[in-house]
Amino acid sequence: MTWQQVAFKIGHHDEQYPRRKLDRFLKLYEMYGFKAVK
Q: Is 0.85 surpassed by the pTM of this model? A: no
pLDDT level of residue 34 (50, 70, 90 thresholds): low
What is the domain count for the chain? 1
Instruction: Tell me 16's DSSP state.
Output: T
CA gyration radius, the chain: 10
**What is the Cα–Cα distance from 15 to 7, expressed in whole angstroms?**
11
- pLDDT per residue as tens digits for the range 15-29: 556 677 878 888 887
**What is the Cα–Cα distance from 10 to 24, expressed in whole angstroms?**
14
Output the CA torsion 16→18→19→23 (10° steps): -140
- Is the CB of residue 3 less than 8 Å from the CB of residue 37? yes
Domain that holds residue 11: 3-37
